[in-house]
Amino acid sequence: MKSPERITIALDEETAGLFKKMKEDLGMSQSEMMREALKFFGKHKSLFEFAEDKKVYTHAEMLSAGEHVILDIDHWILFLSFIETHPDKEKFWNFHKEVCRAHAEQFKHKLLNAESILRRLEICNLFKMSKTGKNEFTLIFGSDAPKKFVRTELEEIFAGMGFLVEINEDFSKLRVKVIHDL
């Protein structure tokens, strides 16, 4: 049997502290921990190459709490289209507003400003966002169906947080101007 290849690495103070803590927390030898870390990195390398840390963290946070789901975009559009043709659609929109007000309360406790809320909703893939000015954002939709859902959500959340925001609607976009937030 061939003996394992040995390597020596130099760690800065912060990384050395993390290494020691993880070794103790996981109850692994140094070698075992390095092997597992390299295997993990190799397997999930694309996460580190293509995704922003904040986005991956937010996805993990939202999904691990069990309060969010991953939904195929076609199903999402199907649900929204069905709601618009349903005879009790106003019930849905009233319930949607209640949920949005509850989200406003949650966001208040996290001290999120308007831009942070918009970025969080962008991470949910509700829209693509571009910042067009200091306090101005354009939300771009791949389909017209989610626009009403998102507009209602933003209006309720921002009002519930006491933010003053103007929302203007274009054909496939919402333009958001934050006048006052945190």
Give the pLDDT band (50/70/90) at residue 76. very high
Give the pLDDT band (50/70/90) at residue 6. confident
pLDDT exceeds cutoff 90 at 65: no
pLDDT exceeds cutoff 80 at 1: no
The three-state DSSP-derived secondary structure of the chain is: CCCCCCCCCCCCHHHHHHHHHHHHHHCCCHHHHHHHHHHHHHHCHHHHHHCCHHHHHHHHHHHHCCCCCCCCHHHHHHHHHHHHHCCCHHHHHHHHHHHHHHHHHHHHHCCCCHHHHHHHHHHCCCCEEEEEECCEEEEECCCCHHHHHHHHHHHHHHHHCCCEEEEEECCCEEEEEEEECC
Mean pLDDT of the chain: 91
pLDDT of residue 178: 97
What mean pLDDT is predicted for residues 49-57? 70
Please tell me the pTM assigned to this model.
0.72
CB of 175 closer than 8 Å to CB of 165 = no
